[in-house]
Every structure is written in C-alpha cells, then in structure tokens.
Amino acid sequence: MNLPKDPAILLSFVNTHLRDRYPSLEEFCKSTGVPMEEVTDALAAIDYYYQPDRNQFI
C-alpha cells in the first residue's frame, strides 16, 4: 500500500483506518504491509505518537 507522503495527510489517513477498520496499529501494518516504524517515525516527526489505549495517534 502506498501511504500519503505528507505527514498531516498521513495522520488523518492512519487514524481513520484505525478508527474504522483495525483494532490496533499492529493489525493495520500487518494488513497493509507497511512497516510500523515507517508510520511511527513519520508521525513522530510532527509530534504525534500512537496511544494503544485510544488506538490512535495523538
């Protein structure tokens, strides 16, 4: 899967998928074939971090 390159759009894209389709970031990454570090690093660059208890990046 090709993820959006813009971090703000990536944030919206990932959080929407986590809310609507996946119970965890791990499941999202497994299903899409995207390395978890790729997502977490890109969003950490704009100060967003995954919160497992909320299943979203905040």
For 8, the 3-state DSSP assignment is helix
Q: What is the pLDDT of residue 49?
A: 98
d(CA 53, CA 5): 26
Q: What is the pLDDT of residue 23?
A: 98
Q: What is the pLDDT of residue 44?
A: 98
Digit-by-digit pLDDT tens for the chain (58 residues) are 899 999 999 999 999 999 999 999 999 999 999 999 999 999 999 999 999 999 999 9
| Of 46, 50, 35, 40, the residue nearest 6 (C-alpha) | 46
